[in-house]
Amino acid sequence: MIFPKATRVKNLPPYPFEVLGQRIKQLNANGPKPIIRMDVGSPDLPPPAVVIEKLAEVAARPDVHGYSTYRGAPVFRQALAKYYQNRFNVSLNPDKEILPLIGSKEGIVNLALATVNEGDIVLLPSLAYPAYIMSTMLAGADIHEMPITAENGYFPVFEDIPQDILKRAKLMWLSYPNNPTGAAVSFDKYEEAVRFCREHGILLGFDNPYPEIMYDGLKTAPSIMQVEGAMETAVEFTSLSKTYNMAGWRIGAMVGHAQIIDTLLLVKSNVDSGHFHAVYEAAAVALNETPQSWIDERNQRYEERRDKIIEALPNINLQLELHPAATLYIWAKVPNGDDIDYHNRTLEGARVSVTPGSFYGQDGKGYIRFSLGISDTDLDEALSRLREYWASQ
């Protein structure tokens, strides 16, 4: 039998990394050596030891294996409120202004389902995490792209958005430090975004999963909630996936406007339940008990990997577009402008997978994204393969 698809998914493309994963699986089944992945931003290192110890300790208790509450365990919400106070000097009500998420991706998708309708417009950066795009399509809303390029400092020019678009705009997505480019912007840009969204009655969804992954002596990226008035118009998505190497644990949160918290909860409580309680307690330890020395040492390791890749770029037919001071990523330019061709050739010829910039939108054409979430041994082997391959071309 051929079963029908709902209208909302008929035009929804497959998630690009799922397609890539299947292709790599097929190539590995038939190829001479395993493909090394430098595409997905998944940390290769474990979380802090105290986090794993807390998970094991709590999981051994007999009283933690039932359903959690839909708002999530108070221990986690209180820990996140404490983290925001200590890190950003932002006060959050843990009962009303924090909602745990299954990572941040599902919250991003569900926020669109909760807040926009068919005929509404969602304002997206022209280089965007695919979940912003897919969630808009699922909600039946229209997309208006805001160009972010080197020429405008990887930040939208809000004055260029037409008035007829603004009248229909209900939600804007921004993310800094930025995926895929690694770009960071000054705090006045955060203030500009909040001011613009307040003026036009637009909900600002700010995706902030990399606040602790900083290089070159920097310590912490800002939170949008530090901006005066942000609580009136913005919500921020945070995640422990990259910050504490807990990608597989699927724990994050949305913080901010209490009404939007309740609106998202309305969707989530009908779709999923809370996390395993041991994950909440371990996440609370990650937020409040991870030594700064652990973060600094992890970042130093990433910084060394970053510098290795940057040094190799001229020998693997790429040009550095932006020297990243944050995130897990390096954004590089393909001299001939064909990122798909570069990706295919390195995948099949060098047995190394990098991310085509086109995964992130039209302005990603001609660029390649590298992830630093790769072991040092695999990184050295991948760069050796890439140098050898491009030297032979």
Instruction: State which amino acid sits at residue 85.
Output: Q
Question: What distance in Å separates the CA atoms of residue 248 and residue 77, rounded to the nearest whole number?
Answer: 20
Q: Are residues 278 and 148 in the same domain?
A: yes
Q: Across the beta sheet with 98-101, what order do the strands follow? A: 98-101, 252-256, 234-239, 203-207, 169-175, 121-125, 142-146
Q: Are residues 79 and 160 in the same domain?
A: yes
Q: Last residue of a domain, which of 230, 263, 289? A: 289
Instruction: Please state the domain count of the chain.
Output: 2
Q: Are residues 348 and 309 in the same domain?
A: yes
Q: Are residues 59 and 36 in the same domain?
A: no
Q: Are residues 207 and 252 in the same domain?
A: yes
Q: Are residues 139 and 269 in the same domain?
A: yes
Q: Is residue 376 in a domain?
A: yes
- Expressed as residue numbers, the domain containing 192 is 49-289
Q: Are residues 339 and 265 in the same domain?
A: no
Q: Is residue 9 in a domain?
A: no
Q: Is residue 10 in a domain?
A: no
| CATH code of 91's domain | 3.40.640.10
Q: Are residues 236 and 115 in the same domain?
A: yes
Q: Is residue 6 in a domain?
A: no
C-alpha distance across the termini of the chain, in Å: 48
pLDDT by residue for the chain (393 residues), tens digit each?
A: 888 889 888 889 999 999 999 999 999 998 889 999 999 999 999 999 999 999 999 999 999 999 999 999 999 999 999 999 999 999 999 999 999 999 999 999 999 999 999 999 999 999 999 999 999 999 999 999 999 999 999 999 999 999 999 999 999 999 999 999 999 999 999 999 999 999 999 999 999 999 999 999 988 899 999 999 999 999 999 999 999 999 999 999 999 999 999 999 999 999 999 999 999 999 999 999 999 999 999 999 999 999 999 999 999 999 999 999 999 999 999 999 999 999 999 999 999 999 999 999 999 999 999 999 999 999 999 999 999 999 999
Q: Are residues 233 and 146 in the same domain?
A: yes
DSSP string, 87-123: HH-----TTTSEEEESTTHHHHHHHHHHH--TT-EEE
Q: Dihedral sign, CA of 207, 210, 215, 220?
A: positive
pTM: 0.96
Q: Dihedral sign, CA of 303, 308, 314, 316?
A: negative
Enter the tokens of residue 40: 């997905």
Q: Last residue of a domain, which of 234, 254, 289? A: 289
| CATH code of 329's domain | 3.90.1150.10
Q: Are residues 380 and 323 in the same domain?
A: yes
Predicted local confidence at residue 31, as pLDDT: 83
Q: Are residues 230 and 319 in the same domain?
A: no
Question: What distance in Å separates the CA atoms of residue 285 and residue 289, rounded to the nearest whole number?
Answer: 5
Q: Are residues 241 and 326 in the same domain?
A: no
DSSP string, 267-295: HHHHH-----HHHHHHHHHHHHH--HHHH
Q: Last residue of a domain, which of 289, 324, 346? A: 289
Predicted local confidence at residue 11, as pLDDT: 86
Q: Is residue 336 in a domain?
A: yes
Predicted local confidence at residue 219, as pLDDT: 84
